[in-house]
Chain A
Amino acid sequence: MNSTGTLKSSSSELDLDRPNIEDYLPSGAAIQQEPRGKFRLALVLTIGWIIFLSAFIPVHLLLKGHDKLRRNIERSLVEMMCGFFVASWTGVVKYHGPRPSRRPKQVFVANHTSMIDFIILEQMTAFAVIMQKHPGWVGLLQSTILESVGCIWFNRTEAKDREIVARKLRDHVQGTDNNPLLIFPEGTCVNNHYTVMFKKGAFELGCTVCPIAIKYNKIFVDAFWNSRNVFKYWPSLWRVLGSAMTLYGGQSFTTHLLQLMTSWAVVCDVWYLEPQNLKPGETPIEFAERVRDIISTRAGLKMVPWDGYLKYSRPSPKHRERKQQNFAESVLRRLEEK
């Protein structure tokens, strides 16, 4: 385990099912959100960034020739940086289950509530993630630092993109030296009460799927970021104006992050669950549903039969038509029986 302070729960502590919050919050000071508290958080982050960048940039430039060494160092740095991020929100994370190991032919899937899911998981193991390319400062972070852990980008709005991405995924899992791949099959952020339908892409790669369940305790803050509020009007305009602006009262990721940092604590549980393989005779979609069931049961989430992308656009008429079709067919069948 990393040794950045007392913020990570070590396995030698009491095996409680819920984190014991008093053990983690610094005594007294952080209970109220005074300006001093906020200053301290900003300080933690700034120090973190300074250390990270002063180590990362030289390593990235100087060790260009020694790929393996460079990658190892960059990986540890990213893990450390994520640790700092989590500290800045006073993150209280309890990890259950065996830590992911680096093996080829395996992919990790997790339910998705917020961008910080990735950071919380990344703190423990440097995963390679498949993500939507964002505008603004987040995009900058993505292209420089996350590139080093081997992330794959996609663009939701491009139609042909899916095939390209599927090929990239397959290449990545076959490679032996790549970081373990983490995929969020819901495809979008979901509030932490439900899981929506999983996309089958992760389950068609022909390798072991290791489920991870993440559950936030809303007692201090709600980690769910409804990006739909931002993208609601003119998504292209949004992209142009950048992530720092909020349009129409929506919430940009920056505001959301600031809100998280100034709230009391982000409390969550992460369970690394037993790896699953495609059973003989099972289709990838059935496999996806089975894994979704495992994750939902562990995290106490309800499974709903909707597509996550319904959040972004009006549903196409075919959803409604399918219902009409089912009803019409059952009525006609009954008519025929007469």
Chain B
Amino acid sequence: MGNTSSMLTQYDIEEVQQHCKNAFTQQEIVSLYQRFCQLDRNNCGFIPSDEFLSIPEFAVNPLSQSMLRLLDGFNFKEFIAFLSAFSPRATLQHKIEFIFKVYDTDCNGKVSFDDMLTVLRDLTGQYMSEQQRKEVLAQVLEEAGYTKDSFLVLSDFMKILGNSDLKMEAEVPVD
């Protein structure tokens, strides 16, 4: 409240901007820094992953655990890089890359049937049986021209999602 961005120099802001490939304007980076400082309660420049879970809107998201898996705690640069996929200025490629990483639960660069099953489990919780999930996935893969044993890579994701109207944006309030 009332804190200024005097702790970030122009040089810092530019460096961060380059790191996130210009996904955010300088004003937005300043606003995000204020938010980062609020989350960083111990003032150590580092937010542990479960601090994110104290943000209510994030905690109610069924995919929160999968997203947190992507990074083991954040410093400010990583924080910005993580959020850059949600900037309205981010390219579609960037967003799809992010989604791919969320789906790739075993982090081997490929999305298998089991990976997708894990994400679907997060998304549906107790409201679908395991059998139903497997059925749905098998059907969906078939429709898209793949089989149960296919491994999807990034280019597959691009192909599937490339033409869709992907709206994955967060607005950064700028004072």
Interface residues of A (CB under 8 A from B): 193, 218, 221-222, 224-226, 248-249, 251, 259, 263, 306, 310-311, 314-315, 319-321, 323-325, 327-329, 331-332, 335, 338
Asked if B72 is an interface residue, CB under 8 A from chain A, the answer is: no
Contact at B2–A259, with CB atoms within 8 Å?
A: yes
Chain B residues near A222: list those with CB within 8 A. 1-2
Of B19-27, B84-92, B93-101, B122-130, which binds chain A? B122-130
- What are 11 contact pairs spanning A and B, CB under 8 A? A222-B2, A226-B1, A315-B59, A320-B60, A323-B61, A324-B124, A325-B125, A327-B124, A327-B127, A331-B128, A332-B132
Contact at A324–B59, with CB atoms within 8 Å?
A: no
Q: How far is the CB of A316 from chain B (nearest CB, A)?
A: 9
Docked complex: B122-166 residues within 8 A CB-CB of A: 123-128, 132, 135-136, 139
Chain A residues near B132: list those with CB within 8 A. 332, 335
Q: Which of B60, B132, B175 is packed against the most chain A CB atoms within 10 Å?
A: B60
Q: How far is the CB of B127 from chain A (nearest CB, A)?
A: 4
Encoded as 1 (CB less than 8 Å from any A CB) or 0, chain B from 1 to 28 comes to 1100000000000000000000000000
Chain B residues near A323: list those with CB within 8 A. 60-62
Q: Considering the complex of A and B, which 9 residue pairs feature the smallest CB-CB distances, nearest first?
A: A310-B56, A324-B125, A328-B127, A328-B124, A319-B60, A328-B128, A325-B127, A320-B60, A222-B1
Distance of A222 Cα from B34 Cα, bound (Å): 14
Asked if B41 is an interface residue, CB under 8 A from chain A, the answer is: yes
Distance of A324 Cα from B64 Cα, bound (Å): 12
Contact at B128–A332, with CB atoms within 8 Å?
A: yes
Distance of A135 Cα from B70 Cα, bound (Å): 43
Distance of A328 Cα from B126 Cα, bound (Å): 9
Chain A residues near B2: list those with CB within 8 A. 221-222, 259, 263
Contact at B59–A314, with CB atoms within 8 Å?
A: yes
With contacts A193-B173, A338-B139 taken as known, whether A321 is within 8 angstroms of B1 at the C-beta atoms is: no
Name the CB-closest residue of B to A193.
B173
Chain A residues near B59: list those with CB within 8 A. 314-315, 320
Given contacts A222-B1, A314-B53, A327-B62, 7 further A-B contacts (CB under 8 A): A218-B175, A259-B2, A315-B59, A315-B60, A319-B60, A320-B60, A331-B124
Distance of A54 Cα from B57 Cα, bound (Å): 49
Contact at A335–B139, with CB atoms within 8 Å?
A: yes
Contact at B123–A310, with CB atoms within 8 Å?
A: no
Q: How far is the CB of A232 from chain B (nearest CB, A)?
A: 9
With contacts A259-B2, A306-B57, A331-B128 taken as known, whether A324 is within 8 angstroms of B62 at the C-beta atoms is: yes
Distance of A331 Cα from B39 Cα, bound (Å): 36
Q: Which of A226, A263, A314 is packed against the most chain B CB atoms within 10 Å?
A: A314
Asked if B54 is an interface residue, CB under 8 A from chain A, the answer is: yes
Contact at A315–B56, with CB atoms within 8 Å?
A: yes
* Pick from B57, B125, B135: contact of A321, CB under 8 Å: B125
Q: How far is the CB of A41 from chain B (nearest CB, A)?
A: 17
Q: How far is the CB of A322 from chain B (nearest CB, A)?
A: 9
Chain B residues near A311: list those with CB within 8 A. 56
Chain B residues near A225: list those with CB within 8 A. 1
Chain B residues near A226: list those with CB within 8 A. 1
Chain A residues near B54: list those with CB within 8 A. 314
With contacts A251-B1, A335-B135, A335-B136 taken as known, whether A328 is within 8 angstroms of B57 at the C-beta atoms is: no
Distance of A320 Cα from B41 Cα, bound (Å): 26
Contact at A314–B56, with CB atoms within 8 Å?
A: yes
With contacts A193-B173, A226-B1 taken as known, whether A321 is within 8 angstroms of B126 at the C-beta atoms is: yes
Chain A residues near B1: list those with CB within 8 A. 222, 224-226, 251, 259
Q: Which of A249, A263, A324 is packed against the most chain B CB atoms within 10 Å?
A: A324
Chain B residues near A248: list those with CB within 8 A. 41
* Pick from B127, B139, B173: contact of A329, CB under 8 Å: B127
* Pick from A218, A315, A327: contact of B123, CB under 8 Å: A327
Contact at A331–B57, with CB atoms within 8 Å?
A: no
Chain A residues near B124: list those with CB within 8 A. 324, 327-328, 331
Q: How far is the CB of B32 from chain A (nearest CB, A)?
A: 15
Distance of A248 Cα from B1 Cα, bound (Å): 16
Q: Which of A222, A319, A331 is packed against the most chain B CB atoms within 10 Å?
A: A331
